């Protein structure tokens, strides 16, 4: 949560530490660092965000329950939208086709729309 909070605060001086956290052994730390970097408009965490957008990847993590998967995916969707990441378009389009959760499909639609602008 400390990594995520650094993004919320908006202190760009945290970017080097957040980039290091992308290599942390804890997936949770990596994810929060990638989200914080997106909030700080730094693209270094995009590979992590892209990975999170793959539900099959998250389904291979047994300690995550469905609610946690939805939360992390929703944040990753928002992160790629915030960065206006065109390389996420195919991932988002696939997610829109395959995802059954209405919250995620709505968030995905919004993100795809934001990438058009």
Q: Are 100 and 73 in contact (CB under 8 A)?
A: no
**pLDDT, position 10:** 75
**pLDDT, position 1:** 64
Q: Are 48 and 34 in contact (CB under 8 A)?
A: yes
Instruction: pLDDT band for 117, please (50, 70, 90 cuts).
Output: confident
The CA distance from 8 to 3, in Å, is 9
Instruction: pLDDT band for 9, please (50, 70, 90 cuts).
Output: confident
Tell me the pLDDT tens digit for each residue of 83-104.
999 999 999 999 999 999 999 9
Has residue 31 got a pLDDT over 80?
Answer: yes
Instruction: pLDDT band for 18, please (50, 70, 90 cuts).
Output: very high
Q: Which residues of 29-52 are buried (b: 16+ CB within 10 A; e: fewer)?
A: bbbbbbbbbbbbebebbbebbbbb
DSSP-derived secondary structure letter, 13: G
């Amino acid at each position: 949560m400390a990594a995520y909070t650094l993004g919320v605060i908006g202190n760009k001086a945290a970017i080097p530490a957040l980039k290091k956290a992308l290599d942390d052994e804890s997936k949770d730390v990596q994810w929060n660092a990638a989200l914080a970097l997106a909030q700080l408009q730094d693209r270094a965490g995009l590979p992590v965000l892209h990975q999170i957008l793959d539900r099959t990847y998250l389904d291979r993590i047994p300690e995550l329950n469905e609610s946690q998967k939805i939360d992390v995916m929703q944040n990753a969707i928002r992160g790629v939208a915030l960065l206006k990441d065109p390389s996420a378009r195919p991932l988002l389009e696939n997610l829109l086709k395959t995802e059954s959760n209405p919250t995620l499909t709505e968030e995905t639609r919004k993100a795809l729309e934001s990438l058009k602008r």
